[in-house]
Amino acid sequence: MRPVTEDDLAEAVRMARGPLVVRGGGTRAIGRPVTGELLETGGLAGITLYEPGALTLVAGAGTPLAEIEAALAAEGQRLPFEPIDMRALLGTDGVPTVGGMVAANASGPRRVQAGACRDSLIGVRFVDGSGTVIRNGGRVMKNVTGYDLVKLMAGSWGTLGVLSECAFKLLPVPEAEASLRSAAMDPSAAVAVMARALGTPYEVSAAARDSDGRVLLRLEGFGDQVARRSAALQAALGGDWDVLDAETSAGAWRGVRDVTAFADAPGDVWRLSVRPSAAPEMVARIDAPVVLDWGGGLIWARVEAGRDLRADLGQFQGHATRIRGEPVAALPVFQPEPAPVVALAAGLRAKFDPRGVLNPGLMG
C-alpha cells in the first residue's frame, strides 16, 4: 500500500487486518524483521509550507530529504541536526525521507551544539494504530502547545504511529566552516582534548575522533570569526593541528556522520551512547575499530560478525544498538530496557496502537 493522502493513510491503517510493515525510503533497515503487509509513506510527499523568514518548514513524511535540502540551500538555510545517511553503512538503496529521518531521530555530529532531530521538530501529524489522525505541536514555533507527542514520535521507529507530516525549525547556513585535525592519539587523550575544546568559548560545533585516531574539531560562522576562533582554539589546546578548509572539512564530517570507514569493511556495527568520560574505558573493553562522535558520547564500533558486544561489555550506563548484522533471535537489536521502562513502553503502545499492527516486534 502506498497512500497519497492522509485520509488514505488513515483508511489503510483502520482497515488493516494484520501487521503492517511501515516503511519510508527503506534506507534505515534495522530492528527485528517484521512480517506483514507493506505500508509505504513515499506517496505523502511534498513541501506544504516553507517560510524562510520564520525559519520554519513543513513537509509530508514521504518527501525525499534531498528535496528538502535543495529547497533550504536555495535560501541559505539547513536542518540544524545534520541527519545521518545510513545507506552505505547498511548496504541499502532507496531515498531517505523526512518521515524515516524523524522515526529514527537521525542526528549527526552537530548534535553537540544544535541538539537532535527531535529538538528541531516543532510539529507532527500522524495516524495511530486505530486509524485516527493526530496532530501535535504546530506549523510555526509560536503555536507549539499541548502534550509533547512530537518528541515521543521521534525515535519511535513507526511503532506508535505512521507519520504523515512534519514541521521543523531551521537555521541559516554559516558563511564559513573550518576544522582542526590532530595527529592520531589514543582514546583517553582524544576524549580529554574534545572535552577541553567543547568547554572553550570558541563555539565548537562538532568534536570527533575518526577511524584513524585523529581528533576533528569544527568551527562555523562568519569568515573572519572562524579564522580568529580557529587560531584561539589552537592556542588554547596546544599541540600541532592541521587546519582543513571548508571543502575538506565538509568531506571529513560526512565521513564521521555516515561512518563511511565501516561501510565496506566486514563485521557487525554497533552504536553506543555513553557518557563522554566513560568512552575510553568502553573503547578498551570493545577492543575493535571505533569512531567517536559527540565528544566521545557516541561510539561506533565494528566487531566480528555475530559478537554479542552488549554481553561482553556487561552493565554500563548507556545504550548499545546493533545497527548492522544478520538477525539473531537471542540478540536484541535495541538495548533491553529496565522493567519499569518496559511497562511504560507497553502502556504507550497499548494506547497508540491497541491492535498491535504497527511494526509489531520491531523494537522488541
Round the average pLDDT of the chain to a whole number and report it.
Answer: 92
Question: Is the CB of residue 243 less than 8 Å from the CB of residue 278?
Answer: no
User: 114 pLDDT exceeds 80?
Assistant: yes
Question: Is the CB of residue 188 less than 8 Å from the CB of residue 221?
Answer: no
pLDDT recorded at residue 147: 61
What confidence category does residue 93 fall into, taking pLDDT thresholds of 50, 70 and 90?
confident
What confidence category does residue 149 fall into, taking pLDDT thresholds of 50, 70 and 90?
confident
Residue 182's φ and ψ, nearest 5 degrees, are -95, 175
What confidence category does residue 142 fall into, taking pLDDT thresholds of 50, 70 and 90?
low
Collapsed DSSP state (helix, strand, coil) of residue 170: coil
pLDDT recorded at residue 148: 81
DSSP 41: -
pLDDT digits (tens, 9 = 90+) for 150-197: 999 999 999 999 999 999 999 999 999 999 999 999 999 999 999 999
Run of H or E residues at 167 = strand 162-169
Which of 152-156, 218-222, 272-276 shows the lowest mean pLDDT across its residues? 152-156
CA angle (353, 93, 334) in 5-degree steps: 45
pLDDT recorded at residue 329: 74
Q: CB burial class (10 A; 0-12, 13-18, 19+) of residue 217?
A: buried
Which residues of 86-137 form beta strands (DSSP E)? 121-127, 133-137
Nearest to residue 197, comparing CAs of 182, 184, 183? 182
Collapsed DSSP state (helix, strand, coil) of residue 301: strand
N-terminal to C-terminal alpha carbon distance within the chain: 25
User: SS3 breakdown of the chain: % helix, strand, coil, rounded to 5?
Assistant: 35, 25, 40
Residue 355's φ and ψ, nearest 5 degrees, are -90, -10
Residues sharing a CB contact under 8 Å with residue 155, sequence separation 6 or more, in sequence order:
103, 104, 105, 118
What confidence category does residue 27 fall into, taking pLDDT thresholds of 50, 70 and 90?
confident
Q: CB burial class (10 A; 0-12, 13-18, 19+) of residue 346?
A: exposed
pLDDT recorded at residue 243: 96
Run of H or E residues at 218 = strand 214-221
C-alpha cell at 51: 517560510
Residue 141's φ and ψ, nearest 5 degrees, are -65, -35
Do you know the residue count of the chain? 364
C-alpha cell at 197: 575544546
Question: Is the CB of residue 216 less than 8 Å from the CB of residue 234?
Answer: no
- Residues 271 and 300: their CA atoms lie apart, in Å, by 5
115-149 core/surface letters (b: 16 or more CB in 10 A; e: else) = ebbbbbbbbbbbbbbbbebbebbbbbeeebeeeeb
What confidence category does residue 67 fall into, taking pLDDT thresholds of 50, 70 and 90?
very high
Is-above-0.85 flag for pTM?
yes
pLDDT recorded at residue 146: 53
pLDDT recorded at residue 154: 93
pLDDT digits (tens, 9 = 90+) for 325-354: 988 877 888 888 889 988 998 999 999 999
Q: Give the amino acid at 237.
A: L
Please name each of the domains of the chain with its CATH number. 6-172 (3.30.465.10), 174-333 (no CATH)
Bridge partners of 87, per DSSP, are none
Question: Is the CB of residue 122 less than 8 Å from the CB of residue 167?
Answer: yes
Collapsed DSSP state (helix, strand, coil) of residue 55: coil
Question: Is the CB of residue 341 less than 8 Å from the CB of residue 314?
Answer: no
Classify the C-alpha dihedral 169-300-317-198 as positive or negative: negative
